[in-house]
């Protein structure tokens, strides 16, 4: 908004001097109001994000969140094959599904043991005192063996075994599916990050610089009456739009990097990556 305020002052000065048009002043006021409206929307979105961050950090009271400074461009290079192999080694979800498959296999073994007779051994020692005639009674030892034979194995035990086998099949299938999907997810994220890096380089290294040159020349030309106000202000606003789009690409690179590290189960390998 500061830039548009300055352009509004330029338009008002030229109009007061008789070299500008009133419509230039009105157009600058419209652009300023439009930017102020966008600022209000962005501040509301920021407030919502601050509330969300405080909630995730489990803070009892609201605390303002200091925005980060200018993000560095993560000049990342990738070995997609190595990252795919790493995802199959470290992915937390894969470890979880492997554990589920192992648990299901144990449940099958336990279900099979339900067909075996259930034997129980008991051994007891009894100590007796004198009877009512005063005669000493001998102590005694008792033992017992009970056997619970599953005569109805065609019903309960069969159902338990079948259910355990189905759970095992489902867990194994879920594990295999994730093994097949993970490399594709890694490859997709690597491609996205590379594309967004190219987009950012295009904006940061070319489009923004070209737009700034156009904005400077158009402002100088407007001051001497060689271009219209509409052309000049569009050039100035385009610089802001290009800078914003470049920041969005940079943010998306960090976002996709975080998604990739989630799949890898840890940070990216330090070799072949850096920030500038």
pLDDT tens-digit map of 126-183:
777 766 676 777 777 888 888 776 666 567 777 888 888 999 999 999 999 999 999 9
Alpha-carbon span 76 to 185, nearest angstrom? 18
Q: For the packed helices 92-113 and 80-90, what is the interaxial angle rounded to 10 degrees? A: 40
Q: pLDDT tens for residues 29-54?
A: 887 788 788 888 988 988 888 888 88
Give the global pTM: 0.72
Closest of 253, 239, 246 to residue 204, by C-alpha: 246
28-32, 71-75, 78-82, 176-180: range with lowest mean pLDDT: 28-32
Residue 11: pLDDT band with limits 50, 70, 90: confident
68-82, 85-99, 153-167: range with lowest mean pLDDT: 153-167
pLDDT at residue 152 in the model: 60
Secondary element (H or E) of residue 122 = strand 118-126
Whether residue 88 contacts residue 149, with contact meaning beta carbons closer than 8 Å, is answered with no
Closest of 53, 156, 49, 170 to residue 105, by C-alpha: 170
Alpha-carbon span 258 to 47, nearest angstrom? 23
Q: Which two tokens stand for residue 259?
A: 């998604």
Residues 6+ apart with CB under 8 A from 1: 32, 35, 36, 39
What percent of the chain has a predicted confidence (pLDDT) above 90? 36
pLDDT at residue 145 in the model: 81
Alpha-carbon span 223 to 144, nearest angstrom? 110
Using DSSP's 3-state secondary structure scheme, residue 148 falls into strand
Q: Which two tokens stand for residue 216?
A: 């400077």
Mean pLDDT rounded to a whole number for the chain: 84
């Amino acid at each position: 908004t500061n830039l548009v305020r300055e352009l509004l002052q330029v338009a008002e000065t030229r109009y007061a001097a008789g070299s500008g048009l009133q419509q230039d002043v009105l157009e600058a006021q419209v652009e300023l109001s439009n930017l102020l409206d966008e600022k209000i929307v962005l501040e509301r979105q920021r407030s919502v994000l601050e509330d969300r961050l405080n909630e995730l950090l489990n803070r009892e009271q609201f605390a303002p969140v200091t925005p980060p400074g200018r993000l560095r461009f993560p000049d990342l290079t990738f070995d997609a094959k190595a990252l795919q192999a790493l995802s199959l080694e470290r992915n937390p979800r894969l470890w979880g599904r492997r554990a589920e498959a192992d648990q299901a296999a144990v449940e099958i073994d336990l279900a099979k043991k339900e067909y075996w007779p259930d034997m129980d051994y008991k051994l007891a020692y009894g100590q007796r005192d004198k009877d009512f005639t005063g005669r000493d009674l001998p102590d005694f030892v008792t033992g017992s063996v009970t056997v619970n034979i599953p005569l109805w194995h065609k019903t309960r035990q069969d159902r338990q075994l079948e259910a355990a086998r189905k759970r095992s099949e489902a867990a194994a299938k879920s594990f295999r599916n994730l093994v097949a999907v993970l490399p594709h997810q890694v490859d997709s994220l690597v491609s996205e990050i590379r594309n967004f890096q190219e987009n950012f380089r295009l904006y940061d290294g070319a489009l923004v610089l070209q737009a700034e040159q156009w904005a400077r020349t158009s402002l100088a030309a407007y001051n001497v009456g060689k271009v219209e106000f509409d052309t000049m202000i569009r050039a100035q606003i385009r610089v802001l739009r290009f800078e914003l789009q470049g920041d969005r690409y940079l943010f998306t690179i960090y976002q996709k990097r975080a998604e990739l590290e989630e799949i890898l189960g840890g940070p990216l390998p330090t070799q072949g990556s850096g920030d500038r």
